Amino acid sequence: MITKDCIAEIEAAARIEEVVADFVPLKRAGKDWIGICPFHDDKNPSMHVSPRLGIYKCFVCGAAGGPIHFVMEHEKSSYPDALRYLAAKYHIEIKEEKRKLTPEEQAANDEREALLNVTAYAEKYFVDQLFNSEEGRQIGLTYFQERGFREETIRKFRLGYCPEGWDKFTTKALEDGYKLDYLLETGLTKKSENGRLHDFYHGRVIFPIQNGIGKPVGFGGRILAKTKTDKIAKYFNSPESIIYHKSDILYGFFFAKKSIRTNDNVYLVEGYTDVISMSESGVENVVASSGTALTEGQIRLIKAQTKNITVLYDGDAAGIKASLRGINMLLAAGLNVKACLLPDGEDPDSFAKQHRDSELRDYLAEHTVSIIQFKADILMKDAGNDPLKRAAVVNDILGSIAEINDDIIRSFYVRECADLFKISEESLNANLRQLVWKKINDARRQPSFQSQPNSQNPTVPQGTTPPTITQPDESQQLPKVLTPALTQQKVEVNHLDLVEFDVIHLLLKCGMYETHISQTDEAGNAVICPIRVDQYVFNEFHDDEIVFQNPLYQQVYEEYAKIAQKAESQEDLEHAFVVHENEKIRNLAVSILMEEEPEYSEQWEKRFELHTNNITNSVQSLNTELSGCINLFKLRLIERHKKLLLNELGFEHTDEEQRQIMERLVELDKLRKKLADLLGMVISQSDDSAN
């Protein structure tokens, strides 16, 4: 178990913007960063990363948290694994408790952790067999070398070998204390009908499959040509498990991430050796779908790194037509899709071996075309001059264009299609509109449900889960501003709730800032006194015995009083709230503190010799905002009190009670007018019904 001091060191070192940038390209947005959210089908950057607060927050799906939680959610990893990843990133030595776990504690360890441990053990075993056993060197290593792979490449991708024999690996794993249940669940070991155990990959070379942080989660085992028969599959692959979901994995993704972001493009191939050969030839931004049709999970992985994808095809016509079906999914996801056709008889593996470094890159650059051009070239070969077949090709291409959601991009594709087939854009657009409407109507017929991010946090031992931030439920939603669409509905606006939120907003944003207020000294003279925002608010609330009507806001107010006593700065205070143990308080604080601040151009100020004041750089602006906020709060409280008294008049009372109510109403009206004058507001009779 990792020590608390070590965890604290990792938390202190991990910078949220650096951690998120390992997985998602980020762009500067004022003081924060923004990027495509990897936790939902995000088409525009909706995830904000705040270095100041040390958290990320998606304002669409609600995903949020700190560096450790981001790694856990993105990689579906356990808390200890996320800590180890960050420790390695920041060169921190992992320190663990020296106390040995009891058998009961070991048995209670997370199943996912155990499966990752057994796959890591298997990877190490297969690599060791390849390089350090005579059988591995003569058979496995020789095979890889004959394929043209250099030793440094073999070690980089952690290729291995599982020895011949029925159960050598299984026997060794059991001897070393790994449980049979985990060997069976990961598919490393199989049990025959008569109950005999055997190694699933025996006699095969091994291609480990890593997740996004480099942990092995599965394997591909290739039978060697000398022993291959038609009755045995060329490749054996790991079964689905809680650590390996084939639809969410791209082979080579861990090794390609950095290059994909650097080149802002990814090459998509089919198999393991395609990735390895291309990487060895200098094209490292390459991943493989591992022989399966593209899935939404794999597309999300790509989209989190780049919007540009180039699909590589060999000369197999049937294979090309089959794989073209996945193109529409890429277009619908908003990716810029291109294609490159390799010469007849070549696949990415063989072609990369013959064309190293600049030769390979030059070929790819010269032969990469838009997906519209590519589909036209491929499909028109069969259509020939048959007008019906040619029309079918055009409609097929229009079907792909219809998947594109951006109207401008769609129009460029239509123009390209018109130029290719010498057809007017008007005719193509007429057919395209029909296809788009059909797509919309088909979608309407499907059951509608809102996609939600995975809310199941990976299990963390002994209650050490880092704070997470979830989308607030209806009971804690922030006050909503009415939109024109609601004007035909009678919606009762809770004005008091709105100003209560404004007070909390001001406290969390500026509570420890200093402002100036006017006070009267003993001689009756007006004196300007410096005072902190929070102290001013607390004084006003204490003097008038004010409490919040919204229970959540009152709870935040009380917590603020405790936290502010210990916080040394505004940043300390904000951080205490974004990691607060109370989920509702934490979510409210994040929603407020992650709001985008307006950025004022320095060039604008220089050009017009103006200085833009706001509550963060001007005491006068802060003072105006503070006094206005508190006075408006008091006004709304008076209005609420007045409304209650007016309702009370509808009931029977003694003359004395009636007189007291009327006197109180007169007092409230005087206070109300005084506050309205301070706020520069005009109060009409209709305002009495507001609240």
Residue 598: inside a domain, yes or no?
yes
Same domain, 635 and 546: yes
Comparing C-alpha atoms, which of 205, 256, 258, 255 is closest to residue 228?
205
| CATH code for the domain of 223 | 3.90.980.10
Same domain, 160 and 286: no
Model confidence at 231, in pLDDT bands (50, 70, 90)? low
Alpha carbon distances (Å) from 562 to 50, 538, 559, 595, 605: 25, 12, 5, 24, 40
Where a domain ends, among 89, 118, 141?
89
Contacts of 172 by beta carbon, 8 Å cutoff, 6+ apart: 125
Same domain, 54 and 203: no
Comparing C-alpha atoms, which of 323, 314, 332, 321 is closest to residue 293?
323
* CB-based contact 310:339 (threshold 8 Å): yes
The predicted structure's pLDDT at residue 320: 77
pLDDT in tens, 334-367: 899 999 999 888 899 999 998 877 889 999 999 9
Contacts of 134 by beta carbon, 8 Å cutoff, 6+ apart: none
Same domain, 309 and 428: yes
Model confidence at 481, in pLDDT bands (50, 70, 90)? very low
| CATH code for the domain of 291 | 3.40.1360.10
* CB-based contact 239:200 (threshold 8 Å): no
Report the Cα 321 to chain-centroid distance in Å: 33
Residue 211 is encoded by which pair of tokens? 């997740």
Residue 457: inside a domain, yes or no?
no
The torsion angles phi and psi of 253, rounded to 5 degrees, stand at: -60, -40
Rounded CA-CA distance 366/665 in Å is 83
DSSP run (H or E) holding 369: strand 368-370
3-state helix, strand, coil in the chain (%, to 5): 55, 10, 35
Is a pLDDT exceeding 70 seen at residue 98? no
pLDDT in tens, 367-423: 999 999 998 888 888 887 888 888 998 998 998 998 888 888 889 999 999 998 899
Is a pLDDT exceeding 90 seen at residue 618? no
Residue 460: inside a domain, yes or no?
no
Max Cα distance, the chain (Å): 109
Alpha helices in 336-402 (DSSP H): 348-354, 358-367, 371-383, 387-401
Model confidence at 547, in pLDDT bands (50, 70, 90)? confident
Strands 308-313 and 336-341: parallel
The predicted structure's pLDDT at residue 213: 82
Same domain, 481 and 568: yes
pLDDT in tens, 233-268: 788 999 999 889 898 899 999 999 889 988 999 999
Same domain, 153 and 259: no
Residue 124: inside a domain, yes or no?
yes
Residue 461: inside a domain, yes or no?
no
Output the DSSP codes for 558-604: HHHHHHHHH-SSHHHHHHHHHT-SSHHHHHHHHHHHTSPPPP--HHH
Residue 37: inside a domain, yes or no?
yes
Is a pLDDT exceeding 50 seen at residue 609? no
| CATH code for the domain of 26 | 3.90.580.10
Residue bearing tokens 């502010």 = 564
Helical packing angle, 79-89 and 4-13, nearest 10°: 60
The predicted structure's pLDDT at residue 527: 63
Residue 233: inside a domain, yes or no?
yes
Residue 463: inside a domain, yes or no?
no
Where is average pLDDT lowest: 54-63, 78-87, 599-608?
Answer: 599-608
pLDDT in tens, 190-199: 998 888 999 9
Residue 359 burial (CB count, 10 A): 14
Where a domain ends, among 197, 221, 244?
244
Same domain, 440 and 519: no
3-state secondary structure of 287: strand
Same domain, 528 and 664: yes
Same domain, 237 and 287: no
Residue 476: Cβ-neighbour burial (10 angstroms; 0-12, 13-18, 19+): middle
Strands 55-58 and 47-50: antiparallel
Q: Which amino acid is at 171?
A: T
Model confidence at 76, in pLDDT bands (50, 70, 90)? confident
Q: Strand pairing partners for 189? A: 199
Residue 664: Cβ-neighbour burial (10 angstroms; 0-12, 13-18, 19+): middle
Model confidence at 465, in pLDDT bands (50, 70, 90)? low
What percent of the chain shows pLDDT beyond 90? Answer: 25
Q: What is the mean pLDDT of residues 23-41?
A: 87
The predicted structure's pLDDT at residue 378: 85
| Structural domain of 144 | 110-244
Residue 223 is encoded by which pair of tokens? 């039978």
3-state secondary structure of 440: helix
Alpha carbon distances (Å) from 134 to 131, 161, 342, 612: 8, 11, 38, 75
* CB-based contact 189:195 (threshold 8 Å): no
Total domains in the chain come to: 4
* CB-based contact 110:81 (threshold 8 Å): no
Same domain, 429 and 319: yes
Same domain, 261 and 234: no
Residue 137 is encoded by which pair of tokens? 């060197």
Is a pLDDT exceeding 60 seen at residue 294? yes
Rounded CA-CA distance 250/338 in Å is 19
pTM of the model: 0.64
Rounded CA-CA distance 230/600 in Å is 70
Rounded CA-CA distance 172/163 in Å is 12
Stronger pLDDT, 655 or 286, i.e. the higher one: 286
Residue 115 is encoded by which pair of tokens? 């499966």
pLDDT in tens, 3-14: 887 888 888 788
Model confidence at 479, in pLDDT bands (50, 70, 90)? very low
Where a domain ends, among 179, 214, 244?
244
Strands 266-269 and 235-237: unpaired
pLDDT in tens, 555-602: 888 888 888 888 888 888 888 888 888 888 888 888 888 776 555 455
Same domain, 396 and 519: no
Residue bearing tokens 């109950």 = 195
* CB-based contact 57:47 (threshold 8 Å): yes
